[in-house]
Amino acid sequence: MRKLTWFNTTALTLGFAFLYLPMVILVVYSFNASKLVTVWGGFSTRWYGELMRNEAFLDAAWVTVKVAVMSSTLATILGTMAAYVLVRAGRFAGRTLFSGMIYAPLVMPEVITGLSLLLLFIGIGMDRGVMTIVLAHTTFAMCYVSVVVSSRLVSFDRSLEEAALDLGCTPFEAFRLVTLPIIAPAVISGWLLAFTLSLDDLVIASFTAGPSATTLPIKIFSAVRLGVSPEINALSTIMIGIVTVGVISASLISKRSMLRQSAEERAADRT
Amino acid sequence: MGEKVFAPWTDPNETPLIQFKNVTKRFGEFTAIDNQTFDIYEREFFALLGPSGCGKTTMMRMLAGFEAPSEGTILLGGQDIAPIPPNKRAVNMMFQSYALFPHLSIWENIAFGLKRDGLPKEQIAARVEEMLKLTRLEKFARRKPHQCSGGQRQRVALARSLAKAPKLLLLDEPLGALDAKLRQDTQFELMDIQEKTGTTFVIVTHDQEEAMTVASRVAVMDHGKIIQADTPARIYEMPGSVYVADFIGDVNIIEGRATPAGDGYDIAFAEGEPALHAKSDKKLQAGSTAYLAIRPEKVRISTERPDDLPNVVRGKILDIAYLGNLSTYHVRLPNGQIIKSQTANTRRLSNRPFTWEDEVWLGWTDTAAVLLEG
């Protein structure tokens, strides 16, 4: 191991402190026994217990997960289809316009996306609730999925699809049996990305949510306006925990499968 | 006569398996295939040979159904194949990159096409086993493609494309990714498998040695046209043009003026040099430009003037390429022309009678050179 120099140590400490100090404070105070957020009153898990009894938070959490699952699934289907057409269909009339329009929502301010969707839902007389949030999240997450999947499709060996056709597949079978299983990792990471985006979106959800459905970010935001309670700290700590476990296990799995594959390739070349 | 020689293209009663009729293929402004008409017969091993960009791959992709001809028709067993999509054709292809499905095992890769036909399970299993045996892959059935070496992957690709017993198998540079030694072994294996299965093979390659080894007929292509299609021996011994002579193997090309003489022509190629004589049935105008194509191994090199050869020239050894079993001598004639002569090194190198800068005689018979029109 190389020894870090004085400068490197300082830079590293400052950088990490900047990134993680706020979260460390939040996690520490979630175990605070005192009701006052800024005064340490000893270690306790009482706020976790309180949280479990808070119906409003649990309802909001359930709505959020429902919305995230539905919208990310829809966004993955639509985004994958769009990416496939953009990469595979070659040069058709209006291709440049189409690809530009797919990616435009990436840079569109969320307020505008939210407002325009709100106007649409009012215009067609749709009651605001879970369905409207799902549609809104699908709209803005779809382009992220499309970016992730199309970058995988660009490096995809076209002759694999031709081989499938050659062996008797219809174009749809070739996609289902060959293309989809091979690009599955990209599709899954697109789904995860859409899921996270939906999970922590506040702006678009607050435009399109109705009285019947509130998502967790909206709930937290409105609760904090009445004063930060230790319950919210506890809730946030749980969310940080879930995200951390998810990210670490995903990267471990992909790293291990990569190592195994390269080891097997080396073994095959020796025989 | 003993065994009948395999040459269906010489038999006018034979119906060809594939017929190209005035086929043209354009990509935008670019003409990839230029009005080609030719036939391929059943059980043939037909090689399309040419430099990259000559249209050989386009020809193959039209047979597989990935490209449609811009003009003309392609018949397979007498049927126009233009309206038939690739998945309905009795044609299978072995891809240059092998295109093995990475998420499926070797067994599943080979079974892939059979499953699409909806065959019963036992029948699929029996056919896959048969293919594994044919390509000596029994031990690797459960492996994934990335767990196999290059040579094994090549055999999997072959087994997969043969599994459906196609009328026609297309091979796109099938040995390009293998190293030289493995490639030679695999060439003979391919010929063996072709003979065993009786399938018609069409192979695309830029490697002339490979085409000569495996094919029953070789079609030399250039700029979207087949320049000459014939057996390897006739392509080599009787090239129809300077391009073919030059593309296949090593050759000396001597340009000169032809004058009819005896049973052929005298070619005057340089001031102060005697004319060279070549036998030929060709009808050339007296005084027209002609080319002599002579293979280096047909040029004899000696220190003494040979008395028994009608064509003799004198020159100085410029270079010697020693290949172990063979040596190629580059000899410069007084007019600057360089003639290559190749001999087998049947004696020890130290016994060689000539070396760099030596004056030597070159000679060849009047049938050694092929006379080509300008």
Which CATH number is associated with domain A58-218?
A: 1.10.3720.10
Chain A, 238 to 257: residues with Cβ < 8 Å from chain B are: none
pLDDT for the residue numbered A6 = 92
**Structure confidence by residue, pLDDT tens digits, B269-324:** 888 888 898 988 888 888 889 999 999 999 999 998 998 898 999 999 999 998 88
Are the Cβ atoms of A167 and B149 closer than 8 angstroms? no
Q: For chains A and B, what is the number of CB pairs under 8 angstroms?
A: 73
Q: Distance, in angstroms, between B197 CA and closest chain A CA?
A: 18
Are the Cβ atoms of B95 and A271 closer than 8 angstroms? no
CA-CA distance, B370 to B35, in Å (whole number)?
Answer: 28
Are the Cβ atoms of B87 and A268 closer than 8 angstroms? no
Q: Distance, in angstroms, between A152 CA and closest chain B CA?
A: 15
**Structure confidence by residue, pLDDT tens digits, A152-165:** 898 888 899 999 99
Distances from the Cα of B126 to the Cαs of A168, B100, B145, B266, B271, in angstroms? 19, 21, 21, 66, 73
SS (H, E, C) chain B: CCCCCCCHHHCCCCCCCEEEEEEEEEECCEEEEEEEEEEECCCCEEEEECCCCCCHHHHHHHHHCCCCCCEEEEEECCEECCCCCHHHCCEEEECCCCCCCCCCCHHHHHHHHHHHCCCCHHHHHHHHHHHHHHCCCHHHCCCCHHHCCHHHHHHHHHHHHHCCCCCEEEEECCCCCCCHHHHHHHHHHHHHHHHHHCCEEEEEECCHHHHHHHCCEEEEEECCEEEEEECHHHHHHCCCCHHHHHHCCCCEEEEEEEEEECCEEEEECCCCCCCEEEECCCCCCCCCEEEEEECHHHCEEECCCCCCCCEEEEEEEEEEEECCCEEEEEEECCCCCEEEEEEECCCCHHHCCCCCCCEEEEEECCCCCEEEEC
pLDDT for the residue numbered A1 = 63
pLDDT for the residue numbered B1 = 40
Please name the residue that has the structure tokens 């639509």.
A78
Are the Cβ atoms of A163 and B102 closer than 8 angstroms? no
Q: Distance, in angstroms, between B58 CA and closest chain A CA?
A: 14
pLDDT for the residue numbered B4 = 66
pLDDT for the residue numbered B2 = 45
pLDDT for the residue numbered B243 = 93
Percent of chain A surpassing pLDDT 90: 39
Confidence band (pLDDT; 50, 70, 90) for A270? low
Q: Distance, in angstroms, between B96 CA and closest chain A CA?
A: 9
> Within an 8 Å CB–CB cutoff, is residue A91 touching chain B?
no
- Residue ranges of chain B with per-residue pLDDT less than 70: 1-4, 374
Are the Cβ atoms of A165 and B86 closer than 8 angstroms? yes
Are the Cβ atoms of B147 and A269 closer than 8 angstroms? no
pLDDT for the residue numbered A98 = 83
| Upper half-sphere CA count for residue B253 (Cβ side, 13 Å) | 18
Residue A244: both structure tokens together: 């951390």
The shortest CB-CB distance from A163 to any of B99, B117, B143 is to: B99
The shortest CB-CB distance from A168 to any of B102, B113, B152 is to: B113
pLDDT for the residue numbered A35 = 79
Q: Distance, in angstroms, between B231 CA and closest chain A CA?
A: 29
> Within an 8 Å CB–CB cutoff, is residue B148 touching chain A?
yes
Are the Cβ atoms of A163 and B96 closer than 8 angstroms? no
Which chain B residue lies closest to A269 (C-alpha atoms)? B149
Q: Distance, in angstroms, between B31 CA and closest chain A CA?
A: 20
The shortest CB-CB distance from B103 to any of A159, A166, A182 is to: A182
Chain A, 146 to 165: residues with Cβ < 8 Å from chain B are: 157, 159-160, 162-165
Which chain A residue lies closest to B117 (C-alpha atoms)? A168
pLDDT for the residue numbered B84 = 92
Chain B, 59 to 88: residues with Cβ < 8 Å from chain A are: 64-66, 85-88
Q: Name every chain B residue with its beta carbon within 8 A of the beta carbon of A261.
A: 146
Which chain B residue lies closest to A184 (C-alpha atoms)? B103
The answer to whether A64 touches A134, Cβ cutoff 8 Å, is no
pLDDT for the residue numbered B16 = 92
**Structure confidence by residue, pLDDT tens digits, A191-211:** 988 998 898 899 999 999 988
**Structure confidence by residue, pLDDT tens digits, A64-89:** 999 999 999 999 999 999 999 888 87
pLDDT at A251 over 60: yes
The answer to whether B122 touches B154, Cβ cutoff 8 Å, is no
Q: Name every chain A residue with its beta carbon within 8 A of the beta carbon of B150.
A: 269
Domains of chain B: 8-245 (3.40.50.300), 250-373 (2.40.50.140)
pLDDT at A38 over 80: no
Which chain B residue lies closest to A183 (C-alpha atoms)? B103
> Within an 8 Å CB–CB cutoff, is residue A258 touching chain B?
no
**Structure confidence by residue, pLDDT tens digits, A91-124:** 777 788 888 888 888 888 999 999 999 999 999 9
Please name the residue that has the structure tokens 């102060």.
B272
The shortest CB-CB distance from B92 to any of A160, A167, A169 is to: A167
The shortest CB-CB distance from B99 to any of A159, A181, A269 is to: A159
Start-to-end CA distance of chain A, whole Å, equals 36
pLDDT for the residue numbered A94 = 79
Residue B280: both structure tokens together: 């030929």
Chain B, 106 to 135: residues with Cβ < 8 Å from chain A are: 112-113, 116-117
Indicate the pTM of the whole model: 0.81
Which chain A residue lies closest to B150 (C-alpha atoms)? A269
pLDDT for the residue numbered A95 = 80
